[in-house]
Chain A
């Protein structure tokens, strides 16, 4: 099992560009999450999903969009990149909800210039 796979690992965007961060899990988990981790700060929840077709906002959703068309995939979309979105993004999944053990991907380091 690969677990949670994120692509790309690194990306540099110009202000105003768009991109999609890909996330896939092969553990048949219903719950999936997107977090961002800023230097010296704790992880912040951006969006989460409790199953295919269901998504909900987390703590810091502004500037992002998500979709969940399948159990396996949970892409994160940045429409108009801003320098404030420079961060490391982690996708995670869990068998049950928030508070249960989450399995994280390796992260995507995004720089917006």
Chain B
């Protein structure tokens, strides 16, 4: 069964600290993996996309990694800011089936002063 598991479920960190969010998937065949940020009461916004051949990609203070062999991805946030408080959703795209997109449940990040 195609699944995307994210950990931790929630996380609280102090402003200025770094954190890493995890995403494990069993989706096959794999097309790409995307991280979305969802602010409370808003729709998700794409942060970064990882294809099979990419190991790491950065978008400002956000750095995503992908290990296609172990089917794991991580999102590292550097020097966190209060505005980073949001849910971070891992989405894996497959090339086939009725569920070509599989969404994780998200990690709820709270950055406190």
Q: Is the CB of A99 within 8 A of B43?
A: no
- The 0/1 profile, CB within 8 Å of A marked 1, for residues 74-113 of chain B is 0000000000000001000111001111111110000000
Shortest distance between the CB of B16 and any CB in chain A (Å): 29
Question: Which range contains the number of B residues in contact with the other chain?
Answer: 20 to 34
Q: Is the CB of A45 within 8 A of B93?
A: no
Question: Which range contains the number of A residues in contact with the other chain?
Answer: 20 to 34
Q: Which residues of A contact B100 (CB under 8 A)?
A: 98-99
Q: Which residues of A contact B41 (CB under 8 A)?
A: 106-107
Q: Is the CB of A42 within 8 A of B34?
A: no
Q: Is the CB of A101 within 8 A of B34?
A: yes
Q: Is the CB of B31 within 8 A of A99?
A: yes
With A42-B4, A42-B104 as known contacts, state yes or no: A106 contacts B98, CB within 8 Å: no
Q: Is the CB of A106 within 8 A of B103?
A: no
Shortest distance between the CB of A74 and any CB in chain B (Å): 14
8 A Cβ contacts from B30-49 to A: 31-32, 34, 41-46, 49
Shortest distance between the CB of B39 and any CB in chain A (Å): 10
With A42-B102, A42-B103, A42-B106 as known contacts, state yes or no: A99 contacts B46, CB within 8 Å: no
Residues of B within 8 A of A (CB): 4, 31-32, 34, 41-46, 49, 89, 93-95, 98-106
Q: A42-B105, A43-B44, A44-B103 are in contact. List 13 more A-B contacts (CB 8 A).
A: A42-B4, A43-B89, A43-B103, A45-B99, A45-B101, A90-B43, A99-B93, A99-B95, A102-B44, A104-B43, A104-B45, A106-B41, A107-B42
Residues of A within 8 A of B (CB): 4, 40-45, 57-59, 90, 92, 98-99, 101-102, 104-107
